[in-house]
A and B are shown apart, each in its own frame.
Chain A
Amino acid sequence: MRTTRMLWVLGILLAGTMLFLAACGDDDGDDGGPTEPADGAEVPGISDTEIVLGAHTSLTGPIAAYSIIPTMASAYFDYINETEGGVNGRTITYLLEDDQYSPPLAVDLTRKLVEQDGIFAMFNALGTPNHLQVIDYLQDQGVPDMYLATGATEWVRDPAARPFAFGSNPNYTGEGLVMGKYITDNFAGGKYGVILQNDDFGIDGLAGVKLGVNDTVELVGEEPYEVTDPDLNSQVDRLRAAEADVVVIFSTPLLLANAIRHARQDLDWDVPFIISAVSMNELTALIAGDDVIEGTIGPVATFMQWQEDLPGIQRHLEILEFAGIDRSGASVLTLYAQYVAEMMVETLRRAGDNPTRAGLIEAAESLEDWTCSVCLYSVTFSPDDHDPAQTFALAEYRGGRIEITGPAYSYEGVAVADLSVDSLEEVELPEGAQP
């Protein structure tokens, strides 16, 4: 008797909850899409003195080494706040939430940033698998999702469907395309193999490589791995058995360094490696060792921190000093952070004295041939093109540093879906890029 009554109560509670949830769902629907506040209405994250930005990013966890990126971006905003009083009279506050590269955490933290902290825009959220879980939430909430720290094509493939998302890295298919072109030009008649992280990162990259090669070279192995794998030994062994003349790797620094070390030190295999921009930095060299990484090739979009006679690099080092980061900590990653932070500041500046979210999107889409102070080439956005960094150069680890060697290619203005080897146009290296 008592049990029956309990069941009734539970049933009623359950039904009530579902009704409530359904009602909330309707609310979400009404709020969705771009919203332009009426005159005088409050814009989230904007006050008379402050602009609040936020990001889910990796401060701890498996890719904690990338935490230098949000640290440096914060430092740049502090520098602008200090030296220029912020942007259009408002200082920038940048809230960082540590998702440890975990998709469920990214979801919680993004909701917190949007619903509790009331950020104006996301800026430079980091990581492909975790951002996949929040991209559509941000679109539904109408929160600008600026200059993502991931090159997956997902964000930028269809700006009409995702008007609030903007990239910052060369997209992985684009960099794969350039790698494929390089393989055709330098290994004609040869064999190549690809090791790839088995998610959008590696799969987009592999698709690009296949677009970039022609039939003078032969693909002898596609070797996927899971992010939980402790090493890539088996994958490297198979490509060696398949007699690859060159190996492309789409991986993060730790596993990538391990793979090259295995080839060089365990197998005495001196095959050339071409690696993703994700790992084309000093971290990988530090982990692998300078002698192991020597000769490895990959794309870069900025000048290098050791080119100290360039004014942009001098300013970069000054900002590091201002932030109390040791100058020896300057790297491809700190330069990348300054590129995106500068781009954000420029976008906010263009959004004017009374910034709105729609105004921010328009401002971003107005960036045309804009070049950051440490960048090799300019970027261009438009309402149909949210994918910057479509021009970049190849570089090589030489004698303990990364040297920009070229060639450099551009596919400016070509949408992800239309990319082919014919989209590539070889361009000159900018002055001062080569040592």
Chain B
Amino acid sequence: MSIVVVLASAPPWEDPTLFAQQILSGIASGSLFAILALAIVMIYRSTSVLNFGQGEMGLFGTFIAWSFMTRMDFWPAFFLAILVAAVLGAALERFILRPVADAPVLNSIVVTLGLFIVFNGLSLWIWGSQPKGFGPFSVFKGAPTCVGDVCIGRLSIGILVVTLVIMVLLYLLFQHTRLGLALRATAQNRTASRLVGVPVGNMLSIGWGLAAAVGAVAGVMAAQSLSLTTGTMFAVLLFAFAAAVLGGLDSPVGAVVGGITIGVVKNLAGTYVPPEVGSVDLAVAFLVIILVLMVRPTGLFGRRAVRRV
């Protein structure tokens, strides 16, 4: 058995094209992590639960979108699937998570792990194990945009734009609307929120509904790039969690910065770190996360929660 030896590529100043291309591709991969991270942040921000089932819920939403797309055009199917996912998310909160809402937070986490398994199993049961042909859809098709030899595809631009739009919408929702205020209040202190008249139950359902909708968007965008099978979201979920933690679990901007940082660092590490055995890009990416968290335990954009006891 031979050992794989990979020489590090020429340094950035000698091959700026490669350097720029690696950064662009890193941003493209990273924005996929970012959308799913946004959904994770959405739920955490509004219910303070970490949802491990987020990726598979998004997958389920994507399969629903696929079913619609066999019957209608992309856009109506896309929005219909988002709507279904939102209703489903709200229903999940109401009927599955509400009963454990007042139990220790560990119970909720175990429930979300259960959601991971249930939604993956449901997708497999309903849609089967064979991959589905899924896009890219006409809006995201076409020749890439190149500057010199550095290129970015239409789909990558599309994913990046969708990510940024969702980020801005979530930011506006949380910071500049009464609904956002109520959502944040619910996450922080349910009893106090209830006392000042916030309909806490509804807020929790809305939080889950919105997160499920964002998850479905993440799934639809990811599937166009990675294809649609029951395994599609698994790889993305790991990185999305890392992105959310790196950015700070309660910040939409942090989720996007975190996702893109991981995508770029991973690519640069793969390109410039000369590994003796195998690939180290993943290890380097996670090393960066650990270092950041050592300096800023709440993540890059996370807020330190201060609670009076």
Contacts and interface: CB of A to CB of B under 8 A. Distances in A.
14 contacts: A59-B129, A61-B231, A64-B229, A196-B4, A200-B1, A203-B2, A221-B6, A223-B6, A226-B282, A230-B226, A230-B236, A254-B232, A265-B154, A266-B28
A328 B156 CA distance: 33
Nearest to B21: A237
Contact of B22 (A63, A65, A237, A289): A237
Contacts of B229: 64-65, 254, 287
B26 A234 contact: yes
A261 B153 CA distance: 10
Contacts of A68: 129-130
A257 B227 contact: yes
B267 interface: yes
Interface stretch (B56-64, B105-113, B143-151, B296-304): B143-151
Given A238-B18, A268-B144, A206 B225 contact: no
Interface string A256-271: 0110011001111000
A interface bracket (residues with beta carbon within 8 Å of B): 35 or more
Contacts of B238: 228
Contact of B130 (A65, A202, A222, A229): A65
Contacts of A226: 278-279, 282
B17 interface: yes
B282 A229 contact: yes
Given A203-B2, A226-B282, 11 more contacts: A207-B2, A221-B6, A234-B270, A234-B271, A257-B227, A258-B225, A267-B153, A268-B143, A283-B130, A286-B130, A287-B227
Given A229-B235, A233-B25, A267-B153, A60 B6 contact: no
B153 A238 contact: no
Interface in B1-20: 1-2, 4-6, 9, 15, 17-18
Interface of B: 1-2, 4-6, 9, 15, 17-18, 21-22, 25-26, 28-29, 32, 120-121, 124, 129-133, 136, 141, 143-144, 146, 151-156, 225-227, 229-232, 234-236, 238-239, 266-267, 270-271, 278-279, 281-282
B144 A222 contact: no
Contact of A262 (B6, B120, B153): B153
A226 B237 CA distance: 16
Contacts of A198: 4, 278-279
Contacts of B271: 234, 237-238
Nearest to A231: B29
Given A254-B231, A267-B151, A233 B279 contact: no
A233 B267 contact: yes
A228 B278 contact: no
Nearest to B154: A265
A225 B279 contact: yes
A222 B29 CA distance: 21
Nearest to A240: B21
Contacts of A254: 131, 226-227, 229, 231-232
